[in-house]
Amino acid sequence: MFGLRSNARSIAPSVTRASGLIATVAAAALLSSGCAQSSSSSQDRDSAAAVSSSDASSSEPVEADSTTDEADADDGEDSAVEPEHLLTEREIGQILLSASDLPFTPDTHSMMTGVDFFQDQLGAEDDTYTQSFGTNECTSAMDRINSDLVGESPQGGVVQEYTHELEDRTESLYVWMLGLEDAADSSLIWDGVIDACMDEPLQSDTDTVSFEAFQAEGFRGIELEMDVHNGESMVEVLGFSASQDFGRHLLMVSAANMEADTFREIVESQAEKLASFQPQAE
């Protein structure tokens, strides 16, 4: 959900500094968590995108053909019927973007399933923003956003992670869906963050974080623009995270080191795939 605009990997912010600021926004917590997963590539992972967990179970999801319709996901006529029951991991795997759905060929692919990561890592309380920028309405909302999205009783889900190596950086993409105890209402959460953070950027002695609302194809979320000191100079870092409610499920797309146009294209593809999904009868 964040992107790094730099000319060379050597000037990127340190893993601790950059991920410390963005780790509390949705799936970007994967960057700094210690959960294990299986990987479809034997290639060593970039340290900023490493994810490991001995607790999470893992299996390859079944891929579904992505729709070629160009209909807007906000159009009710082309939206998938929201199921009243919780989807199985197999069904969630059919909804999430697969490697063949992406606008690039990923170099690595990893997956986690189950509830442990969502409950123990993503949903854990955090104080990163309060520690970095002091206590105010925005920092409190940012430190609370993951636990608010996950809720008190997550019911299990699937996380897909893809990386794409470029000359000057590694693009990372996270798509996940989580089952919830009650119907999802993430718009209310995003509204609270946007209301609290849009007026003025957060500032510390070395870092600045600005916020913008993100909305596309039925997905809502935020874009963060950060000026982070890497020990030698200031580096601009972008962050993206957006979600869509689907019955008792939350569908999230987040990206790292990715251009805004690419992220929007991926969100559009995920919206199309969701719209084409037909849940199985109970």
Rounded to an integer, what distance in angstroms lies between the CA atom of residue 63 and that of residue 227?
38
In a domain? residue 153: yes
What would the two tokens of residue 246 be? Answer: 């689907």
Taking the model in full, what pTM does it have? 0.74
In a domain? residue 262: no
* Residue 216 structural domain: 6-40+53-58+69-253+271-275
In a domain? residue 45: no
Q: Which pLDDT score, from 0 to 100, does residue 78 have?
A: 58
Burial label for 156, CB within 10 Å (0-12, 13-18, 19+), is buried
In a domain? residue 263: no
| pLDDT-wise least confident of 15-29, 183-197, 247-261 | 15-29
In a domain? residue 102: yes
- pLDDT, tens digit, 9 for 90 and up, residues 215-267: 999 999 999 887 877 677 777 777 899 999 999 999 999 887 788 999 999 99
- pLDDT, tens digit, 9 for 90 and up, residues 105-141: 999 999 999 888 887 777 777 788 888 899 999 999 9
What is the number of structural domains in the chain? 1
Tally DSSP H helices, then E strands, for the chain. Answer: 7, 10
Q: Which pLDDT score, from 0 to 100, does residue 23 have?
A: 43
- pLDDT, tens digit, 9 for 90 and up, residues 166-181: 887 778 888 999 999 8
